[in-house]
Every structure is written in C-alpha cells, then in structure tokens.
Amino acid sequence: MEILIIGGGIAGLSTAYFLEQIASDAKVEVQIRILERTERLGGKICTVHDRGFLMEGGPDSFLVQKPWAAELCRELGLADELVPANTEEKQVYQLRNGQLVPYPDGFRIAVPSAWGPFLRSPLLSWRGKARVALERMVKRRPGLEDESVSSFLRRRIGREAAETLAEPLMSGIHAADPEQLSIRTTWPQLVEMERTSGSLLRGTAEREEARSKDGSRAMFESLRGGVGALVDALRGRIQGEILTGASAGPVRKDGDRFEVDGRAADAVVVATPAFEAATLLRTISAPLSADLDAMRYVSTASVSLGYRAEDVRRELDAYGFIVPASEGRPITACTWVSTKFAGRAPQDHVTLRAFMGRDGQEPDLARTDAELNRTVCSELSEILGIEAEPVAARVFRWPRGNPQYDVGHLDRVARIEDQAESIPGLFLTGSAYWGGSVPDCIFQAMVTAEKVLVGQG
C-alpha cells in the first residue's frame, strides 16, 4: 500500500510513525512518502541552541494531563530525557496597570482551588470574589449547544472574574478573542464539570482531591534537549521516504488511486494547516475546500532572549506573566524559561521568551528581526527593569500560525470529516481540527493511522 503524507510537522511525522508500527504488527506492507514544502521538519516545533541557551520557537512542553506526547517519547527511547517543569516556583503573574500582580495560588484556569490566596488577591474586588463564591448556585446550562469562552465564564463566575482572571489565561494560550473562542473545543473539561458536577467549583474540588492522592506532580514536562528532540527521534525511526523542500500540487484522484505532482498513492494524508489543505483539495472537492478555507488563522511571533542573570533586576520567581489585551501592549506574554525548566541557560544566565500576536492584535511581520527584538527589549526594560543588551536573541515568526477555534468549530470539523470520508483514501489530520497542542496532534495521528489501515490487515 502506497501512502503519501503531505506535511512534515508533528502531525505528519507521527502519522507516518504510527502507520509503520501498526502495519508491522498487522503484517501489512506499506510504502510511505512524506512531502514537506520547507527545508525543515517539525512545523512549529523549532528548538535552537545558541551559545548555551535553549530557545523554543514553538511549543516548549507537554501538558501532563494529555499523556500521548510523553508516551511517544518513551516509545522512542527518550524516557530518560523527559524532565518535569519546576514545581516550586510555578507562580504566574498578570500585568495590571503596568505592574506585575500574582495570580492567586491554587487558581485553576477559571476558579480557585484554595480560598485563602484567592480572597487575599488584589486582582478582584470583593464583589467579584463574592460572585465567584456563588458559582455553585448557578444552574447548569441545558443542551449541548456550543458557546464562547466569554459567554461560558460570565455565566458561571461573573463578568469581573471572567474578564480579569480567566479570559486572559484561556484566550492567551490560543492567541484568540474569548468572545469568539469555542469553549467546547478548547476547554471541554470545564463543560464536562458543569454537566457532571453542576459546578466548576465542585468539579475542581473533586479533581484536586484526586490529584492529592497522586502526590505532587508537575503540570508540564519537556525534553532535556528541547521539544525538537522528539522530531529528531521520529525522523530517525521512520523508514519511509522524507522529502523536504518539496511543495505539493493539487491532489487528484483517478479511480482508486491518487496523484500528486506525478506521484501515485493508494491513500493521501493531508497534515497541513487548513488553508493549505483547502488549496490542495480544491480540485477534488470544492465544498470540502470551502469549509477548510473558512477556518481562521492568526499570525504570531516570539522573541527569545538570553541575559546575564545579574542584568535582570527582578527575581524570576515564576513561570512568567501574561498581558491582557486591555493593557494595550505589543507583547501578550513572557515566559521565564530558565525558571520553568532547568538547563535552559548557561550558568549565571537566564532565558526569557516574549510573545506577540492575538486575534485583533497581530504583529507586523514585515518588520525586521532587529525591530521586533528592540520592541521586546523595550517592554522588558519597562516591566522587568532590564537595561542591558541580551547576549543572545532569536526571533521566530509564525504567519497564519494559530488556528482559531471559533464557536461552532466542532460542527465544521464534523462536516469536514464527513466530506473527507466520502472520498475513500483521503484523510485529514493536524492542529486545525481537534486541538493544536503537541499531545493533541499526536493523538490525532494515532487515530488517523488506524483509519488509513482499516481493512488492510
């Protein structure tokens, strides 16, 4: 069976790996070819080592709650390379009127798990805190209709807590507008808490009790050499042909076979952003292409900076800080990388990483690296008091890099999948559909590989 995979990001590479593993177990012969239009594999996974600093252009870790990335790392022989995030200094700050104010200890995305720190927090008024405390009395919403993150939060915890505490965290992860971001796509666990426990406070308390039985665990883990080590390990294990710098033309079908730029295949897996998939599939299905093209994307950028520790006046005692849109700043967040994970900077140095871009506030990617770097350095000078020049700097640009999971996203994905399934041998996978984190993409790759080989064993 000849299988062509278009896209050499984590989704495409993982799909190839799982296809080979499943085929081997089922004693099915497969010939796999991966086409990646750029000269680099990994998509948004991009780890750079510069003068002893470890800099991530894309994701820097895996959420422990989603085990698929760590499981794949262990399967690839990287178990000893997995490292947990710092569990001692896991605080997060919010920039409020130009000042860094800590989130209350025990704040879990939308509600507190510990009342003392929450009640002492200056981020909310007493009226706002009282409204959160009344969340247990809010009736659950009937039905399964999707709603925005903002709508869900205002309904459950009130406008002040939603806009001040929860929305900046939740929407910041997706570079999204919380008024448009789908709660069912991005935070289904909160919807499930409401459905099963009747309350986010009650559901959080139940989960905290379960967590306490497991002992203290980090929420995130990464690889000692950076997330890019996972890409390298996959590339080393895939037996099929991997072509970089190989742009793919339109996907065409002739009978039971596909053809892409003169390359024939029995099955095609499109593991690209939705807008690229739309172009590839326009000839084979105009309605499918239209639905794919309707998915919105936002451009972002990040700037990683290495400093001498003595040049940073403020103690880096947290994972970093987020910047709500209301602050009107050019940056949206800053991760204190060398606090979050050990080994990210040389001795007596630190690594910081600032983010730019969200829905409605996209960075000007036409600006030079030097200009973006100056903007971030100016912000960190004002916020953290850093006056010295960085000893290392790297700019990462992601034009149309963040899919926007708008309200109704899951309905569109279901429609897309139905249309793709009507074309035997065609499969779609990647961050555009069921989630954009590394573990999400790996899980989708597992499912896709099984679908491709159904009936072949």
Domains of the chain plus CATH, in order, are: 2-40+229-296+405-452 (3.50.50.60), 107-214 (1.10.3110.10), 297-403 (3.90.660.20)
Helix/strand/coil for 393: strand
Q: Residue 70: exposed, middle, or buried by beta-carbon count in 10 A (0-12, 13-18, 19+)? A: buried
Q: Which of 69, 50, 342, 84 is nearest to 230 (CA)?
A: 69
- As given in the structure block, the two tokens for residue 443 are 């899980």
- As given in the structure block, the two tokens for residue 26 are 């089922």
pLDDT at 152: 96
Please check whether residue 452 is in contact with residue 427, taking contact to mean a CB–CB distance below 8 angstroms.
Answer: yes
pLDDT at 217: 72
Beta strand ranges found along 279-366 (DSSP E): 297-308, 320-322, 333-335, 349-356
Please check whether residue 285 is in contact with residue 305, taking contact to mean a CB–CB distance below 8 angstroms.
Answer: no
pLDDT at 457: 43
Q: Which of 27, 33, 22, 26 is nearest to 449 (CA)?
A: 22
CA pair distance 32, 10, nearest whole angstrom: 16
Residue 263 phi, psi dihedral angles, 5° rounding:
-95, 125
pLDDT tens-place string over residues 57-71: 999 999 999 999 999
Helix/strand/coil for 457: coil
pLDDT at 213: 61
Q: Which of 353, 406, 434 is nearest to 175 (CA)?
A: 406
Please check whether residue 355 is in contact with residue 302, taking contact to mean a CB–CB distance below 8 angstroms.
Answer: yes
Helix/strand/coil for 88: coil
pLDDT under 70 in the chain at which residues?
210-216, 455-457
What ranges in 256-330 are assigned the alpha helix state H?
274-281, 286-293
CA pair distance 41, 36, nearest whole angstrom: 7
- Amino acid identity at 326: S
Q: Which of 214, 223, 219 is nearest to 79 (CA)?
A: 223
Q: Specify the DSSP element, H or E, that contains 129.
A: helix 126-133
Q: Quick count: other Cβ atoms within 10 Å of Cβ 197?
A: 17
Q: What b/e readout covers 303-326, taking b as 16+ CB neighbours within 10 angstroms?
A: bbbbbbeebbeeebebbbbbbbbe
Q: What is the DSSP letter of 164?
A: I
